[in-house]
Amino acid sequence: MEIDAKLKHSLMFPGDSVKCVVSLHHPLSSPSNVPIRPYSLTSPQKGSDPKPPEPGPSPSKSPNTVSVAWVALQVYGILSVDPTKVCLPPISILDSQVHKSAGVSSYLPKIEMSKGRYIFSSPQILLFCDVSLSPGESKSIEASCTLPDNLPPSYTGSSIKYSYYVSIIALRDIKSQISSTRFQFIVLNPEAGFIRTRLEDVAIADYQPKVIEIKAPPILERERGTEGRKWNLRVNEDVSLSVKETTLRNKIESMFSKNSTVTLNIKKGNFYICKFTMGASVYKLGDLIMGHFDFSKADLICYQVIVTLQYSEEIESTYIHPNRKNVQKNFQTIETFAEITTNTHSTNFRFEIPLSTSPQIQTDLVDVQWSLGFEFITAKVINDRKGEMNIEFAPQETEKLNWCLPISVLVPFYPNEVDTQCRKPTSTLLKL
């Protein structure tokens, strides 16, 4: 018996539906084409059990027929930490409410409390029960599960990791051991770049997405009629608006509307090195960062310029291990540009922000921020006997000028702005 699980999209946003097609197959001959039966699990009310799919009539068994007692699916997120760098609070969130599931018992992997926590776990979805397959026969079903709307984004750092999985659990028969496999998907959260997401807000079994709603005035102004049609609203009607979504979208769009060219004069003391120009200071994953150096009016010779695209990981002071209290930010280099500029009037650099990296995020444990690091190798500036500053032009006498420019790297707010290649399907195979 083979169990093939395919996730339609490997990249999700909080509130998205995780849609997974699970197929049973007896691989002795070519599989037959059977329609997929959709089965969706929204957030059930506490105390209620989701109804598993009704098993069909059992076919007449042959010597080559194989059976499976049950197959279940579960979606969950894990926070993993390096216990030598991060100390998690002693309060356990791995209580019975987190593991409370419908249908069968929970078979999530155990986590040592010093090394991690469950961010959330969905109720288990019972997909198949007491199914028999003849050689070449297949059965498929589609399961859908809605993610919470306040999840920390996927992130893999040197000290902390947020990761999300779909787990497939199966039992061949009562005499067999339970088999399981899992595959990972990515969660992007635009909100995490502005609002600190907290672990305790999402570590719950009842993960009904929360939406704050307000009532619009009974009569909308006539000049807002165009906006009303854009959002499919009707004049003179009460309208429910998501404050959270609208505010976040407006904040992101406001940042990009003010995203003007950055021009800076780089100096060392009274000596002019170059003029630096960059097209913007706010970017999204996948964007290009382009910068220009103009050395044509330099007073101080610059022998080399080095630019580094990087992000920093800073652990919240409350959770830093006592042995690492003196450790400041940890920097991760994405790409580096270096060029000899001794006889250069101008030069340019270009970086592409990888879609696979993390944007700027803030959670209750970690703060991730992006920046451009600059290093200028210049002629040495010396003081003569009169106290005046002079330049030593010997190439062997050089000095370094280091400088860091913060930038913002955000998640595209609209899911369709993310490259379709990053939303490609993913799959896993479990053999019983």
pLDDT in tens, 39-59: 444 444 444 444 444 444 444
Which pLDDT does position 204 carry in this prediction? 30
pLDDT at residue 311 in the model: 93
**CATH architecture designation of domain 2-208+416-431:** Sandwich (2.60)
Positions in the chain short of pLDDT 50: 30-34, 36, 39-59, 91-105, 196-244, 419, 421
Paired with 347 in beta bridges are 293
pLDDT tens track for 341-398: 988 899 999 999 987 788 888 888 889 999 999 999 988 766 555 555 555 555 567 8
Structure tokens at 134: 């003849």
Each domain of the chain, given as residue ranges in start order, spans: 2-208+416-431, 213-257, 262-410
What CATH class has 262-410? mainly beta
The reported pTM is 0.68
Residue with tokens 């992007």: 188
What pLDDT score does 6 carry?
Answer: 85
